[in-house]
Amino acid sequence: MLSKKVEAALNKQIELEAASSNYYLSMASWAETQGLNGVANFLYGHSDEERMHSMKLIRFVNERGGHGLVPALKAPPAKYKSVNEVFETVLHHEEKVSQSINELVDLCLKEKDYSTHNFLQWYVTEQIEEEALARTSVDKLKFMGGEKAALYFFDRDMAAHATAAATSSTPKGME
């Protein structure tokens, strides 16, 4: 059984993950309109992953006798100045999500909710990967210094990331 405090915090996390999904969907759509199909495919895939993160939380809350709530979401920005802005936003957003997961883990310890604490470890690991990928992308874009030719290769790189994610089996913890 979840305490009311933990249930409320998990529902806040459900909202944050769902907002991430919408955010990345909007970025993907913008990238596609710029002819950056590799970046777009990567972000479409990332958006799907965030939806799964949200749904996994909803199902966990319900399984533990709470009620996972579907949030009303604010529309994300539709336009971006550059690919650099997109990936800087992704990094900033993932850092925020990591902080939120850490606070949740901390709350579980205070509430002595070891089952939820254990469940959240999957998210802790996931955030390490997500932050690292976003940080590497930001660094690469900085290194390119706005070169159009380099952007072509960056786009191809992101396409490879998107393909790898799509062809890998069910993400760990989602089975």
Q: How far is the CB of 20 from ligand OFO (least distance, A)?
A: 4
- Binder among 2, 6, 18, 20 for ligand OFO (CB under 6 A): 20
Task: Give yes or no for residue 155 binding ligand OFO (CB under 6 A).
Answer: no
Dihedral angle of Cα 73, 78, 80, 83, to the nearest 10 degrees? 80
Task: Restricting to residues 81-120, name those near ligand OFO by CB under 6 A.
Answer: 94, 97
Nearer to ligand OFO, 113 or 130 (CB): 130
Nearer to ligand OFO, 119 or 151 (CB): 119
Nearer to ligand OFO, 87 or 151 (CB): 87
- Binder among 39, 47, 53, 56 for ligand OFO (CB under 6 A): 53
**Which of 50, 57, 59 shows the shortest CA–CA distance to 171?**
50
Q: Are 13 and 77 spatial neighbours (Cβ–Cβ below 8 Å)?
A: no
What distances in angstroms separate CA 13 from CA 76, 133, 156, one per listed residue? 17, 21, 33
Q: How far is the CB of 70 from ligand OFO (least distance, A)?
A: 16
- Binder among 126, 138, 158, 162 for ligand OFO (CB under 6 A): 126
Task: Give yes or no for residue 11 binding ligand OFO (CB under 6 A).
Answer: no
Task: Restricting to residues 31-50, name those near ligand OFO by CB under 6 A.
Answer: 50
Q: How far is the CB of 148 from ligand OFO (least distance, A)?
A: 29
Task: Give yes or no for residue 130 binding ligand OFO (CB under 6 A).
Answer: yes
Q: Which residues bind ligand OFO (CB under 6 A)?
A: 17, 20, 50, 53, 94, 97, 126, 130
